[in-house]
Amino acid sequence: MAKEFRQKIRQKNTDNSGFGDNASGRFINKNGLPNVNRKGVNVFNRFSWYHTMLELSTFNFLSYLVIAYILVNLFFALIYYLIGVEHLTGIDKSDPVSEFIDVFFFSSQTFTTVGYGRIAPVGFMASLVATFEAFLGLLTFAIATGLFYGRFSRPRAYLKFSDIALIAPFKNKTALMFRLAPYKNNSLTDADVIVSAAIEVIENSVPKSNFYTLKTQLSKINTLALNWTIVHQIDEDSPFFGFSDEDFKNTHIEIIVHVRAFDEVFSNTVVQRTSYVSDEIIYGAKFIPMYYPDKDNQSTVLNLDKMNHYQQADLPIFQEENE
């Protein structure tokens, strides 16, 4: 690292990062969500369950619904069984296992308001429980339907980021690079990117994070159809000016990426974020092209499998002033 840079970062610190100097750890997770643990409120007020269910992966979302459905029916089946199977008509009473299985399926039919009719409640208690379960089932399926619609209709950017960022040669200098690309057939226009860097420094024996806005060669494009390589040239105005491979490895660095674009179908703005830490920055490499014309030269092929493909590259030798 340059001598002057060891003592003081040359670029002015930015104050619009959204994180304070005393924040620690990774600021933005790879999935784009802030790495913040909130305390001081109970768990019911700490989370927005609607947002949580919308943010879940499809597999987890469906798994939670199925598990909740099974547990609810097991709970009501146990209540019916404790009331007594004699209060349910049509039960197979050959053995306790068959009785409980019939009670479970009666609960599922009541919960979904299907009601085939083979098994029916007899008496006040069984009828009361069945009435409450049917009412709960109506409310539950209304909520589940709303969540399905919210997940299906919510506009998303559907962007795939490279897992790594590179320090690559660029115009006889070096540059920090990473790339992104849409992986679905959504149409994104007027895309712009904001890139910030968080660099940990020691002031008065106390670690502190300084934030810097990184200037990019191209901060906005009209149409995001292919991959977009974001380039920050490391020159005298860059906070990484003079950084060597060891400096990138030994300094706690986080590159925070904020991408915003306009989705023409939803007629709405979509946003996606990610970040890169020191261990995810590769020094002396360049990306391999990931799109090429098809064999008939009639269209362009975007190969998303090559998002993280790179090759080693020699960087220009940096000569520090007054060294």
Residue 15's pLDDT is what?
56
Residue 5's pLDDT is what?
45
Residue 8's pLDDT is what?
46
Domain residue ranges of the chain, discontinuous segments joined by +:
43-153, 156-312
CATH topology of domain 156-312: Immunoglobulin-like (2.60.40)
Within the chain, residue ranges assigned H as helices are 3-7, 43-46, 49-55, 58-83, 96-111, 124-153, 245-250
Task: Give the pLDDT confidence of 60-112 residue by residue, as tens digits.
Answer: 999 999 999 999 999 999 999 999 988 999 888 888 899 999 999 999 999 99
Whether 107 and 82 have beta carbons less than 8 Å apart is answered as no
Residue 112's pLDDT is what?
92
Question: What are the mean pLDDT values of the chain's consecutive 10-residue runs (323 residues total)?
Answer: 46 61 75 81 81 90 95 96 90 88 93 88 93 94 93 91 95 94 92 93 77 93 94 92 90 94 93 95 95 90 94 77 42
186 phi and psi angles, rounded to 5 deg: -75, 155
Residue 288's pLDDT is what?
95
Assess whether the region 43-153 and the region 156-312 belong to the same CATH fold: no
Residue keyed to tokens 């790495």: 35
* CATH number listed for the domain at residues 43-153: 1.10.287.70
Between the alpha carbon of residue 153 and those of residues 59, 87, 146, 266, 267, the distances in Å are 18, 45, 10, 9, 12
Residue 35's pLDDT is what?
81
What is the model's pTM? 0.80
Residue 126's pLDDT is what?
93
Beta carbons within 10 angstroms of residue 84's beta carbon? 12
Residue 257's pLDDT is what?
95
Residue 23's pLDDT is what?
64
